[in-house]
Amino acid sequence: MKSFNPLQSALLFLFVTCSVISQNKSLENSKPNIIFLMTDDQRWDNFGCYGRPEFKTANIDRLADEGVVFDRVFYPVAICMPSRATMMSGRYLSNHKVGFSYPNNLTFSKTDFEATYPAQLKQSGYRTGFVGKFGFAVTDTAYHAKGGVSNYDLQEHLGKYFDYFAGKGVHFRGAFKAWPEDARLNEIYDENRPLNERTLKTGDAMLHFLDTQPKDKPFCLSVSFYAVKNDKDIDMYPPHVKVFENKNFSVPENWVEGKNTKLPELLDHWRGVPLHMKRTSTPELYQKLVRRFATQGYTVDQQVGRLIEKLEDMGILDNTIIIYTSDNGRFHGSQGLYDKAILYEESIKAPLIVFDGRKTKEKRGYREDAFISSVDIAPTILSFAGIETPGKMQGKSFTDILDQTQNRKQWQKSVYSESLFISDLHSKRKYPDFEIANQEIIKANKSYRSRGVRDEKYKYLIYYEHQPVIEELYDLDNDPHEMNNVVSDKKYAKVLKRLRIETEKKHKEIQ
C-alpha cells in the first residue's frame, strides 16, 4: 500500500483546480459575441432586402444575404419608450407599464432590470456595452413619471449593468454620459464636432467598444441609433444628403392624399391625423420626407458596413451574432396617418435580420416566415449565451427557429399587439391630475387605446374603451394593405368570434 504524500496531493489538487479554471475559461471564450442594432422609427420596408432597393442599404442587405431575414415580425407595442423596454425585458407593455402616458407611465425598477438581457449577460461574465438612445428610466423603485424624470444621472443608475456606455436618456432628461473615462470617447463626442455627424459618432463609439474589448471575454453590445427620424437635422449627414437629392421614391398603395375618410373618426383624436396633413398629405411632402428617411438610413447602413469590416479585421466575425431591427414602424402617409402606435401594418410590422457567424454558409442566407414578436428578442439573446430565460420574461426564444429544429406545430401562430398611448396624457402641464384626465377622456369617447391579434390570414383590433366598442377586421390574403374593414361582413362571423376570444385571452395572460 502506497504511503500518503502531501506534496503529491497538493500538486494533484492544483492540477485539478487549474483544469477546472481552464475549462470554465474555455467555455466562457466559446460563448458567442452578440451585437444588437436598433434604429429609431425605421419602417420595415425601407430596405433593399425587404423589396425597396431605392433606399440603398447594401451593408444591411449583406447581413440579410448571409443571415436570416424574418418576414413576419411584429411589435407588441409600436412606440419608442415602451417598445425599447419590451425588447430589453422580454415583457409586454401591459406587464411592465413603462410608457409615456398614464397609467402606463412607470419608470423601470432596478429589481426588474436585473432580469433584462444586459443585466443577465453581465452577471454571466459578458462585457456589456451600450451606445446611443437608451429611451427609458431605470430607478431604484418604479413610480409614475408624471411630467418626466428630473435630474437623472445615467451612470449612477446604469453603471452597474454596463461596462461601456455612450449615450443619452432622451425621453426622461437623462443627459449624455460616457464611461469609462477615455480620451477616445472624449474625442468622438467633442462638442466642436459637427452636430450633423451624430450617426457617425454612434458608429465611432461602436467601433471603439470593439477596440477596447479584451480577447478573453465575450461581449454584448447594444447600439441604438437616433436615426431614422425625419425631424432632426443632426442625423442628416451632408455628403449623404446629396445621394438622394431630387430622387423620387415609390409610393405605397395605401398612401392617402389628404384625409382618409375610411378611418374611424375616433382617430381624429390621435396626433397622426394632423401630422399627416402637415407632413405627408401631398406628393411633394411625401417625397421630401422620404428622402430624409433614406438619407438617414443610408448613414446607418454605412456604420453597419464599418462594423462588419471591423469584426472581420479582428477575426471574430465567425463567433459573432448580429441582430438588426427598429423600435417601431411608421405610417408616413399610409392609411392617411403619420407617426406610429396605431395597430396597422406600417406601424407594427418590424424588420428583423439575424446574422450568426458561427453557422456554415449552408445554414444561412434564407427567409423565415415564422411569427415572431419583438417581446421574443430578449429571451433569444439570452439563449444564444446559454442562459435560462428568467421567470419575468414573457417572450420565448426563437433560437430553435434559427436552428431549424423547432416543431412548427408548437410554435405561435399569431402575435398580439396593444396601443396604450394617449397624446393628451403625455404632458403634465396640460393635465395636472392624470387620473381625472384619463377618466374624462374615456367618458368623452376620445380614448383610442386598442389591442388585437394578427395571424397568417387576418388582422383584428378593438378600441375597447370606446362605447360602443369599435372593431376592425382585415382579410390580409385579399387586402394586404388593410383598406377594407370586413368586420360587418357575415361571412367572416366565425373568424371575428375566434379572434375576439384570442385577443381577450392574450390580454388577460400578460397582465
Can you spell out the DSSP letters for 433-486?
A: -HHHHHHHHHHTT----EEEEEESSEEEEEETTSSS-EEEEEETTT-TT-----
Sign of CA dihedral 272, 278, 281, 287: negative
pLDDT tens readout for residues 215-250: 999 999 999 999 999 878 999 999 999 999 999 999
Other residues' Cβ atoms within 10 Å of the Cβ of residue 367: 10
Report, in this order, helix, strand and coil percent for the chain, each rounded to 5.
40, 15, 45
Give me the chain's average pLDDT, please: 93
| Mean pLDDT, residues 111-115 taken together | 98
Angle value at C-alpha 502, between 500 and 506, nearest 5 degrees:
120
Backbone φ and ψ of 506, nearest 5°? -65, -40
DSSP one-letter code for 270: S
168 strand-pairing partners: 133
- Other beta carbons less than 10 A from residue 402's beta carbon: 23
pLDDT at 22: 42
Q: What is the mean pLDDT of residues 297-326?
A: 98
**Residue 8, pLDDT score:** 56
Q: What's the half-sphere exposure (Cβ side, CA atoms, 13 Å) at 232?
A: 15
pLDDT score at 20: 43
Q: Which of 221, 46, 211, 201 minimizes the C-alpha distance to 128?
A: 221
Q: CA-to-CA distance for 467 and 465, rounded, in angstroms?
A: 7
d(CA 340, CA 328): 7
pLDDT band at 23 (very low <50, low <70, confident <90, very high): very low
Pairing of strands 450-455, 458-463: antiparallel
User: Which of 353, 403, 325 has its CA nearest to residue 69?
Assistant: 353
User: Can you tell me the distance from the alpha carbon of 247 to that of 469, in angstroms, rounded to the nearest whole number?
Assistant: 43
Quick: pLDDT tens for 359-400: 998 999 999 999 999 999 999 999 999 999 999 999 999 999
113, 161 Cβ separation under 8 angstroms: yes
Can you give the pTM of this predicted structure?
0.93
Average pLDDT over residues 40-54: 97
Q: How far apart are the first and last CA of the chain?
A: 68
C-alpha cell belonging to residue 208: 471603439
All three cell numbers of 473, joined, read: 377586421
In percent, the amount of the chain with pLDDT more than 90 equals: 88
- Which candidate, 71, 33, 36, places its Cα nearest to that of 325? 36
Check residue 428 and give its pLDDT.
65
Number of H helices, E strands in the chain: 17, 17
pLDDT value, residue 45: 96
Q: Rounded CA gap, 80 and 330, in Å?
A: 11
pLDDT-derived band at 270, boundaries 50, 70, 90: very high
φ and ψ at 119, to 5 degrees? -65, -40
What number is the average pLDDT over the span 279-308? 97
- What is the predicted pLDDT for the residue at 486? 98
Report in angstroms the alpha-carbon separations of 410 from 75, 241, 398, 414: 21, 47, 12, 12
Mean pLDDT of 136-165: 93
Q: What is the mean pLDDT of residues 414-426?
A: 94
Half-sphere exposure of 231 (CA within 13 A, CB side): 8
Nearest to 374 by CA among 408, 355, 398: 398
CA 195/CA 179 separation, integer angstroms = 21
- Domains of the chain, start order: 31-407 (3.40.720.10), 418-509 (3.30.1120)
Amino acid sitting at position 71: D
Residue 409 exposure: Cα atoms within 13 Å on the Cβ side: 0
Distances (CA, A) of 189 to 144, 158, 178, 223, 405: 32, 20, 9, 16, 45
